[in-house]
Chain A
Amino acid sequence: DAKTTQPNSMESNEEEPVHLPCNHSTISGTDYIHWYRQLPSQGPEYVIHGLTSNVNNRMASLAIAEDRKSSTLILHRATLRDAAVYYCILSPPWSGGGADGLTFGKGTHLIIQP
């Protein structure tokens, strides 16, 4: 399975943008890039996913490198509620056949300073 590499932790200030990097140099041509986040003592929450083009939603933006070997999750204006562990995960597309669940690494612990 293709793996991802993320920094163990990052720190940012409230109301500033946050860029969370993820390296996935062995990504296959059909793997989607998913981001989830997990607040303490809660289940993970889906944030965003993409394949090749940059993606935006109400929570964040996802910038994908042209060679797809890396991506960046962008929180445009961090709040204290964004403090969480952020996971970058690769997932093959749904083929209707057998498929595993998601493979979560240790993620990036994002600390937001007031």
Chain B
Amino acid sequence: DGGITQSPKYLFRKEGQNVTLSCEQNLNHDAMYWYRQDPGQGLRLIYYSQIVNDFQKGDIAEGYSVSREKKESFPLTVTSAQKNPTAFYLCASSIHSNQPQHFGDGTRLSIL
């Protein structure tokens, strides 16, 4: 079945450490997105990519980095510069930007 796979489901990070969250899709979608969700809140956009080798900052990009070397993959790195990284991270994709988005099941990141 086609879909979006995020891994790992749970991730723990030590202070000062960079971690990378994986997002893979086999839907042949051009656009991919990363969101952050804090408890009881809606989703906030971190980065998005409309096409391979291109990506744009969202509303809260500071302390995060991404790459889009392949159409099906859009990994997110949470750097040590992100001072409050504990959150639920969601990856999504769509055929084109502003089309309905398909979401993964998320990665929950915690700080040790």
Contact = CB atoms under 8 A, between A and B. Distances in A.
A98 B92 contact: no
Contacts of B35: 101, 104
A18 B5 CA distance: 32
Majority SS at the chain B contact face = strand
A22 to B, nearest CB: 14
A101 B105 contact: no
B104 interface: yes
Contacts of B40: 106
B43 A104 contact: yes
Interface band, chain B: 20 to 34
B19 interface: no
B48 A101 contact: yes
Contacts of A34: 100
A106 B41 contact: yes
11 contacts: A41-B88, A43-B4, A43-B104, A44-B90, A46-B100, A94-B97, A100-B45, A101-B33, A101-B35, A101-B92, A105-B42
Given A44-B103, A106-B42, 17 more contacts: A36-B101, A43-B4, A43-B92, A43-B104, A43-B105, A44-B43, A46-B101, A94-B97, A96-B96, A99-B50, A99-B97, A99-B98, A101-B97, A101-B101, A102-B101, A103-B42, A103-B45
